[in-house]
Amino acid sequence: MTASHLNIDAHCGCSEDGKGCLCVAPCACHGYGPKLEGFLIPCLLLFLKRKPAHGYELMEELSRMPFLKSLPDPGVIYRQLRRMKTDDLVQSHLEPGKNGPARTVYSLSPQGVAYLLACTASLEGIRAMIEGFLAFTPASPDQEDAP
């Protein structure tokens, strides 16, 4: 799948060919419920927007995020980086290691910037949906429902 095959909009980040769902929010093409496992992609893209980094640096950044309940396995992170490179969301180059082998350094591509914007819009929609839900949820079990 190449960048020309990506159908990126604020609703769904899936590829036109339907392979490899990249959704971070519920969408009509994939049924119901948020695709929270896809939250890693926008997190990685956000870090790469700030500066190019290699996989280990990205794992360190993830460990500092208070909103993540658990960290994914390093293999999952590297798999997502390879997938994002295949989908033209990131670019990579080899950088000589200081005391070891060369490291792959990833940077955000123009398609990655567009996808990050789409993810942000999608997450804003999720936030509005959650806030709307919580507005109708009692604060305590013995409290009456909101109007």
- Is 64 within a domain? yes
- Is 103 within a domain? yes
Q: Tell me, what's the pLDDT at 98?
A: 84
CATH number at 78 reads 1.10.10.10
- Is 146 within a domain? no
- Is 79 within a domain? yes
Residue positions counted in the chain? 147
| CA dist 136 → 56, 77, 123, 133, 145 (Å) | 42, 37, 20, 5, 6
pLDDT tens for 11-53 read: 454 555 445 555 554 454 544 444 445 788 999 999 999 999 9
Q: Say if residue 60's pLDDT is above 70.
A: yes
Residue 79: give the domain boundaries.
3-126
pTM beyond 0.85: no
Domain count, the chain: 1
- Is 135 within a domain? no
- Is 61 within a domain? yes
CB proximity list for 131: less than 8 A, separation 6 or greater: none
- Is 142 within a domain? no
